[in-house]
Each structure stands twice: as structure tokens, then as C-alpha cells.
């Protein structure tokens, strides 16, 4: 799986993609969010970290045990995991990051990053809370009998 993230002054964006059998990258999921309250006062690097954590929380059911290639302008993994004294927020984010197999890939000029930048620049106004639980997530298979 490939995860593109971007953080702007007032918004975040993410794009989850995957290579198909022909090696072409296909977009699977788009995300964007508007920063509010204290989030607007985060440093640029904290916003980059927030973009990653936001995407991981929203997409955790899709990512599962997959290896994630993170493509971003900055390396939030290095920032969070190498900071000697973590704030409460960064410590919480570090716990979330340890749940995933993430490899940082430095950003190049790529189509996926352009889409992510666009999403962050034009966030969808969404007041709904982040719901991390899927209904019936423990159900693996169901059988439907007709007639």
C-alpha cells in the first residue's frame, strides 16, 4: 500500500493507493480534513505528523498487516520516534504509529502527491466524528439462504 500525506496551514490530505497487476498505481481512498482549534497552532512538523495519524486512524481497517510506503514532504516517523522527550500528544501518536509497518519514502514529483495536495487545499467540511469501529467487524462470513 502507498500512503501519500500532506499538511497545509489549515487542512490535511491523504491518498491511499495500490499497484495493480500491471504495475499501475490505482487510488483506493481519498481523505481530507480541516484543522480546527488547537490544531491550527501546531508546528509545521506536528501538522505533518497529524496528517499521518489522521490517515492511519481513518484507514486502519484497510491497512491491516500490509506494509505501508509513506510518501510525504517530511518524515514524521523520524520526528516522532527520534524526539528524546515526547509531549503527551507525540507519545500518543507514537503508540498509534507502532501498530503499523510503515516505511518512509522521500517525495518526488508524483501524481499521487498532486492529488493529495489538491485534497488538502479543498477539504470536505465534515462535522461527523471519527468512527473507528466497523459494525459487525467480528463477522468473517455470512450465509444467505434463498427460498
Grid coordinates belonging to 4: 501519500
Q: At what angle do helices 88-97 and 44-63 cross, to 10 degrees?
A: 30
Residue 132 has pLDDT above 70, yes or no: no
Report the chain's C-alpha Rg in angstroms: 17
3-class DSSP assignment, residue 143: coil
Query: Would you give the DSSP letter of residue 128?
Result: S
Beta bridge partners of 7: 12
Residue 65 has pLDDT above 90, yes or no: no
Domains of the chain (ranges plus CATH)?
2-121 (3.30.420.10)
Query: pLDDT (tens digit, 9 = 90+) per residue, 21-38?
Result: 988 888 899 999 999 999
d(C-alpha 81, C-alpha 30), whole Å: 26
Grid coordinates belonging to 28: 483506493
Residue 53 has pLDDT above 90, yes or no: yes
Query: pLDDT (tens digit, 9 = 90+) per residue, 98-108?
Result: 899 999 887 76
Burial of residue 99 (CB within 10 Å: 0-12, 13-18, 19+) is exposed
Per-residue pLDDT, 111: 56
The closest alpha carbon to 1, from 24, 17, 20, 14, belongs to 17
Per-residue pLDDT, 86: 74
Grid coordinates belonging to 133: 469501529
User: What residues contact 55, with CB distance under 8 A and at least 6 apart?
Assistant: 3, 5, 14, 16, 31
Per-residue pLDDT, 79: 83
Amino acid at each position: 500500500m502507498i500512503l501519500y500525506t500532506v499538511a497545509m496551514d489549515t487542512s490535511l490530505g491523504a491518498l491511499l493507493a495500490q499497484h495493480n497487476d500491471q504495475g499501475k498505481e490505482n487510488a483506493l481512498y481519498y481523505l481530507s480534513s480541516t484543522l480546527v482549534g488547537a490544531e491550527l497552532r501546531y508546528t509545521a512538523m506536528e501538522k505533518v505528523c497529524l496528517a499521518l495519524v489522521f490517515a492511519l486512524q481513518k484507514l486502519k481497517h484497510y491497512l491491516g498487516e500490509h506494509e505501508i510506503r509513506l510518501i510525504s514532504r517530511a518524515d514524521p516517523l523520524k520526528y516522532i520516534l527520534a524526539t528524546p522527550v515526547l509531549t503527551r500528544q507525540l507519545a500518543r501518536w507514537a503508540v498509534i504509529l507502532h501498530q503499523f509497518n510503515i516505511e518512509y519514502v522521500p517525495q518526488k514529483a508524483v501524481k499521487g502527491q498532486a492529488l493529495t495536495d489538491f485534497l488538502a487545499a479543498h477539504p470536505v467540511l465534515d462535522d461527523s466524528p471519527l468512527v473507528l469501529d466497523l459494525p459487525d467487524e467480528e463477522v468473517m462470513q455470512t450465509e444467505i439462504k434463498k427460498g
